Chains A and B, each alone.
Chain A
Amino acid sequence: GAVVSQHPSRVICKSGTSVKIECRSLDFQATTMFWYRQFPKKSLMLMATSNEGSKATYEQGVEKDKFLINHASLTLSTLTVTSAHPEDSSFYICSASILAGRYNEQFFGPGTRLTVL
């Protein structure tokens, strides 16, 4: 149980185009979904937190107009990288969480490797 999928697993795009990444909780309904970015040889950086039906909460320094997050249902969140540039190339990981007592039990997706040419 508690499987999270991401699609696509890899995407290569040209500079200036937009890319959408989907994150789905396959066998549970997630109260909250998180989007992370991971730079090479670095830790995960939280980009934003999203709850179904409401606007995402972005971390400081993350451009909300560039990284659009839509949380359409309790099992689906999407991250759209708009007008992508080479510096947006990175590994993007989502997680879906269930409230377990006083903390969020998070389940991570397998990640999406974005390469912008």
Chain B
Amino acid sequence: AQSVTQLGSHVSVSEGALVLLRCNYSSSVPPYLFWYVQYPNQGLQLLLKYTTGATLVKGINGFEAEFKKSETSFHLTKPSAHMSDAAEYFCAVNFNKFYFGSGTKLNVKP
């Protein structure tokens, strides 16, 4: 069975600080992992994905994530937060369908 756990429903950082959003998964098969961002009243925008190959994945807007099989994790990071990064972030694992985490709301303080 597939499932996703996002630790921390709310994360608050200062502008310019490191962003770390945590995601752990369980999957009975090799996982395909995704991070999406959602701005208020909008759909989901793909930030990055891991399917095969390099475990460190770079995405849009300076975000990256590392697939760690031994830790069953796929944490999302960004070295320096920007005000425009404030949004809701969802981690997802995909097999035949998507299983989404509960989401983490990122707040960026000036």
Contact = CB atoms under 8 A, between A and B. Distances in A.
A104 B94 contact: yes
B96 A104 contact: yes
A107 B51 CA distance: 16
B90 interface: yes
A interface, how many residues as a size bin? 20 to 34
Which 9 residue pairs across A and B have the least CB separation, nearest first?
Answer: A108-B44, A110-B43, A108-B43, A103-B32, A111-B43, A43-B102, A43-B100, A44-B100, A103-B94
B98 A111 contact: no
| SS class, residues of chain A in contact with chain B | strand
Contacts, number: 48
Interface of B: 32, 36, 41-46, 51, 90, 94-98, 100-103
Given A93-B43, A111-B43, A43 B90 contact: yes
B102 A106 contact: no
